[in-house]
Structure 1
Amino acid sequence: MSIKENLLSLKNTFVNPHCLLVAVSKTHPVDAIRVAYDLGVRDFGENKVQELEEKQAVLPKDIRWHFIGHLQSNKVKYIAPFIYLIHGVDSLKLLTEINKQAEKADRVIHCLLQVYIAKEDSKFGLDENELEQLVQSEEIKSLSNVKIIGLMGMATFTDKEDVIRQEFRFLKSIFDKLKSKELPSNFDLKEISMGMSGDYIIAQEEGSTMVRIGTAIFGEREYK
């Protein structure tokens, strides 16, 4: 199927039409992104800084770029001038560096805190206690060039729908709990980024406001 057919099919299966589609374009060529762009997609996700820089330089400037991978602190400076949303912030160190580079770029960068919800060692993220400590830390209050707008999580890679649903439900419960508290002024919780090509329907049913979908749009990844 073509990218156009994939996008149409995908949108028809959304159980929440207001859920934002982030087209995960990592490893896919600029031409494929242009096709999706011409069909109305404006949010694209990348997980490698160099690849993101190269694509951002040649593609339309109204694209909203999402960084969805594990971001190293020493790479933040390269994307700070243009990044729309950083999905996977999992430490105060990284958040502090994002704030520093955002200040240099005279911007406020929106971020999501990544929560560890999967039963897999390969996944990154904060556990519930670490999240609580981060939110309550004095240091976070002084970061005026970042805005924490929500949480992000990745479910276990499994065929067991009940496991995936339970993990997404857990993330939503953490989000609701956090939202009910008095938070620092640089928090404005409204987004839950969860759900990918294989589990986006379950994610939407469990409260996702943003899904990150690559394979179901562009097909299998293209590795150089």
Structure 2
Amino acid sequence: MSISKNIELLNNSLPKNVKLVAVSKTKPVSDILEAYNAGQRIFGENKIQEMVEKHEVLPKDIEWHMIGHLQRNKVKYMASFVTLIHGVDSFKTLKEINKQAIKNDRVLNCLLQLKIAKEDTKFGLSFNKVEDIITSEDFKQLSNVNIKGIMGMASFTDDETIIRKEFKTLTDYFNALKKHSSINFNPTIISMGMSGDYKIAIEEGSTMVRVGSAIFGTRNYK
């Protein structure tokens, strides 16, 4: 099935309150353009250099989301254009994002990544650590960072019971953190769910899904 048809089917099946991030990492510009021409505007990349190169040649109304693990020393390369940074998992990274946002006269939207999977390979903060960060005086000084919500990745397993439980945990965390809303913590987004589990994620409260292979086909690893 074509990329444009996949986009159409996905958008028709998603609830109105759920945003679709088309995960375009490793995919050529031609594939992204096909999705763009089908109406998709939000694309997710996991390598900053690749995202920068694509941003330079693709339409400027695209919303670029950084969905990969973030290296602080590379924030500066995307600070002028990135729309949402998904995987923030340390206060040091937040400080660097704020620093680069100031340099570009922007407020950068971010999601804090929580660890909900049992796997050691998954990055993320504990619930208590997130609470400590967003209630700290140091966080309140980050005037050019806006935390829009949280994200998480479920375990890589075929056991839907485990996946559902982990997604439910993230939604519970989100609901518990909302009471701490502030000038730079405005939680509206729960980013969870990928090609293999986004339907479960939506049932458990996701408002943003990151879908790659179900749009573009099997990923090209590199």
Q: Same fold (TM over 0.5)?
A: yes
2:114 equivalent in structure 1: 115
Give how far 1:130 is off.
Answer: 1.2
Whole-Å separation in 2 of the counterparts to 1:106 and 1:11:
34
1:98 equivalent in structure 2: 97
Give how far 1:10 is off.
Answer: 2.4
Q: Find out whether 1:51 has 2:27 as its counterpart.
A: no
Whole-Å separation in 2 of the counterparts to 1:8 and 1:168:
26
1:5 equivalent in structure 2: 5
Give how far 1:9 is off.
Answer: 2.9
SS of the aligned residue for 1:10 comes to helix
Q: Find out whether 1:203 has 2:197 as its counterpart.
A: no
1:191 equivalent in structure 2: 189
Q: Aligned partner of 1:111: which letter?
A: C
- Contact 1:45–1:65 (CA under 8 A) maintained in structure 2: yes
1:66 equivalent in structure 2: 65
Q: Please, what TM-score do these two structures have when normalized by structure 1?
A: 0.96
Give how far 1:13 is off.
Answer: 3.5
Give how far 1:4 is off.
Answer: 1.8
SS of the aligned residue for 2:43 comes to strand
1:158 equivalent in structure 2: 157
Q: Aligned partner of 2:144: which letter?
A: N
Q: Aligned partner of 1:207: which letter?
A: G
The higher relative CO (CA closer than 8 Å, separation ≥ 6) is in: 1
Whole-Å separation in 2 of the counterparts to 1:184 and 1:137:
11
Q: Please, what TM-score do these two structures have when normalized by structure 2?
A: 0.97
- Contact 2:7–2:40 (CA under 8 A) maintained in structure 1: no
Whole-Å separation in 2 of the counterparts to 1:184 and 1:166:
29
How many residues were matched structurally? 222
Give how far 1:54 is off.
Answer: 0.4
Q: Aligned partner of 1:175: which letter?
A: F
Whole-Å separation in 2 of the counterparts to 1:96 and 1:32:
35
Give how far 1:128 is off.
Answer: 1.3
Mapping of residues 32-47 of structure 1, within 5 Å: 32-47=31-46
SS of the aligned residue for 1:212 comes to strand
- RMSD over aligned CA atoms reads 1.1
Deviation string, structure 1 residues 100-146 (Cα, Å, up to 9, x no partner): 00000000000000000001111000011211211222210000001
Give how far 1:8 is off.
Answer: 2.6
Q: Aligned partner of 2:114: which letter?
A: V
Runs of at least 5 residues in structure 2 that lack an aligned partner in the other structure = none
SS of the aligned residue for 1:151 comes to strand
SS of the aligned residue for 1:167 comes to helix
Q: Find out whether 1:222 has 2:220 as its counterpart.
A: yes
Whole-Å separation in 2 of the counterparts to 1:125 and 1:4:
33
Q: Find out whether 1:168 has 2:186 as its counterpart.
A: no
Mapping of residues 74-93 of structure 1, within 5 Å: 74-93=73-92
Identical aligned pairs, as a percentage? 62
- Contact 1:13–1:201 (CA under 8 A) maintained in structure 2: no
- Contact 1:90–1:113 (CA under 8 A) maintained in structure 2: yes
Q: Aligned partner of 2:83: which letter?
A: Y
